[in-house]
Amino acid sequence: MRRFTAGGEIPRRWYNALPDLPKPLDLPLHPVEKRPVKPENLEPLFAKALIEQEFSEARWIEIPEDILEVYALWRPTPLYRAYGLEKFLNTPAKIYYKYEGASPAGSHKPNTAVAQAYYNAKEGIKRLTTETGAGQWGAALAFATQFFGIKCTVYMVRVSYNQKPYRRTMMELWGAEVFPSPSSRTKSGKSILEKDPDNPGSLGIAISEAVEDAATNPDTHYSLGSVLNHVLLHQTVIGLEAKAQLEELGEYPDVVIGCCGGGSNFGGIALPFYADKAVGKKVRLVAVEPKACPTLTKGIFAYDFGDTAGLTPLLKMFTLGHNFVPPSIHAGGLRYHGDAPIVSLLVKEGIVEPVAYSQTEVFEAALTFARTEGFIPAPETAHAVKAAIDEALRAKEEKTPKTILFCFSGHGLLDLSAYDAFLKGELKDYELSREEILKSLSELEKLAIRR
């Protein structure tokens, strides 16, 4: 019996969903002047090639040979059939998962990190800055930059820096410099430390520091690991490969599932199938988020900042408000107040179905998966696992076969302390009250952008 399909080839092109969207995306707005940003406004921060991709109307974008060479270290990733899980659930459904934990960094994130490092190096940039929370994105960028001879500076949220030393070790091992944020290296960091020397940091503060560092150094750019159109574009290698691998098996999914933080692994697996859906094919696309940070299920579709300080352009997206501080669940990668504009529009149009789960049911699903399939999912990934299990159980109830595909966005081998807490029964569920969400959203009202 063959349990996985490693066959197929690495796609030679990324799929750009922009020309196929049901309506054009609303343009990003300048943070102060509130007018649409021009591509050249972004040049202090991003490579020209990436800015071009951000607004491109070309359906297919060629993947440069140098990027394919690095991808070839771990791509194509295996597509597994979850025989063990199917048997345990006693379901008529077939469950497939695309194993993105196979990358050296352990998640899907290098798919875009490698592309971003390549284009920046090609345009003469010597260093990339970024922020990281739990460290997955920082690790992916540290891994990627070393292939193209550029440096990497990571501002890591101070609490994570102290609590999660191993991801910092990974980043340093791959040659990156890592600073706990807030740091005294930037004006924004310094001003926070002056008022509060023990500030634990936040993703919003770390973004402000990384952006300031890039904006004030001409040989330095900034790099973002999710949300933006070009990030989702690079991640489509996941869905394109999966589609070809399923085709080899004579299969097509009824439902495609991904967990959703900023929307990049979900977009990566789902958008190539959206291309078929846009021309009439029947396939459901399900984005899974935590109930503790319910952006797509409880947020509003509006212009909002990407960071806490309000330095980034305003994006039209589902958001809980840029001041929203989600409870500290273990799926750190899903604790973002906003979501990718592409994914947001598809949810708004009723094309993508969002679902939300609470932390303990998600960890229970992860445990079932680890005990039937062997692989230990990252807590983020476990959200997709939970949704896949629910789909499979529904198929059983309805006594109808169905083919399920989900993105296994990363392994959980650096999240064992979260599993330890779960096994000891120490995990809590957080469901936000309507009042808490309305309070955070009322801040947005003050922005008063009606477009």
Ligand X SMILES: *Cc1c(COP(=O)(O)O)cnc(C)c1O
Chain residues that interact with ligand X, rule: CB under 6 A = 107, 109, 136, 226, 259-266, 333-334, 378, 380-381, 409-410
- Tell me the residue length of the chain: 451
Closest CA to 355 of 332, 319, 383: 383
- Compute CA distances 369 → 69, 356, 373, 393, 412, whole Å: 32, 19, 5, 14, 12
Interstrand relation of 352-357 and 284-290 (parallel, antiparallel or unpaired)? parallel
Closer residue to ligand X in complex, CB, 244/378: 378
Closest CA to 133 of 188, 72, 203: 203
Instruction: Give the C-alpha separation, 288 to 261, whole Å.
Output: 9
Question: Measured from the CB of residue 161, what is the shortest distance to ligand X in angstroms?
Answer: 17
Instruction: Give the C-alpha separation, 351 to 316, whole Å.
Output: 17
Question: Measured from the CB of residue 99, what is the shortest distance to ligand X in angstroms?
Answer: 11
Question: Measured from the CB of residue 105, what is the shortest distance to ligand X in angstroms?
Answer: 9
One-character DSSP codes across 69-124: HHHTTTPSPPEEE-HHHHHHHT-S-EEEEEEGGGSTTSBSTHHHHHHHHHHHHHTT
Question: Measured from the CB of residue 265, what is the shortest distance to ligand X in angstroms?
Answer: 3
Closer residue to ligand X in complex, CB, 307/380: 380
Provide the residue type at 450 as one letter: R
Question: Measured from the CB of residue 227, what is the shortest distance to ligand X in angstroms?
Answer: 7
Closer residue to ligand X in complex, CB, 345/395: 345
Closer residue to ligand X in complex, CB, 192/378: 378
Closer residue to ligand X in complex, CB, 239/261: 261
Closer residue to ligand X in complex, CB, 180/258: 258
Question: Measured from the CB of residue 110, what is the shortest distance to ligand X in angstroms?
Answer: 10
Closer residue to ligand X in complex, CB, 29/366: 366
Question: Measured from the CB of residue 306, what is the shortest distance to ligand X in angstroms?
Answer: 13
191: tokens are 């001003």
Instruction: Give the C-alpha separation, 155 to 171, whole Å.
Output: 11
Residue 403 and residue 254 in contact, taking contact as beta carbons nearer than 8 Å:
yes
Instruction: Give the C-alpha separation, 407 to 423, whole Å.
Output: 25
Provide the residue type at 436 as one letter: E
Closer residue to ligand X in complex, CB, 201/410: 410
285's CB contacts (< 8 A; 6+ apart) are 255, 256, 270, 273, 274, 277, 346, 351, 352, 353
Closer residue to ligand X in complex, CB, 101/189: 101
Q: Please work out, in degrees rounded to the nearest 5, the angle formed at the alpha carbon of residue 280 by the alpha carbons of 274 and 285.
A: 35
Query: Among all residues, whose Cβ is closest to ligand X?
Result: 410
Closer residue to ligand X in complex, CB, 208/264: 264
Name the residue with tokens 């933080």.
Answer: 261
Question: Measured from the CB of residue 196, what is the shortest distance to ligand X in angstroms?
Answer: 28
Dihedral angle computed from the Cα positions of residues 362, 365, 369 and 370, in that order, rounded to the nearest 10 degrees: 70
Question: Measured from the CB of residue 331, what is the shortest distance to ligand X in angstroms?
Answer: 8
Question: Measured from the CB of residue 225, what is the shortest distance to ligand X in angstroms?
Answer: 7
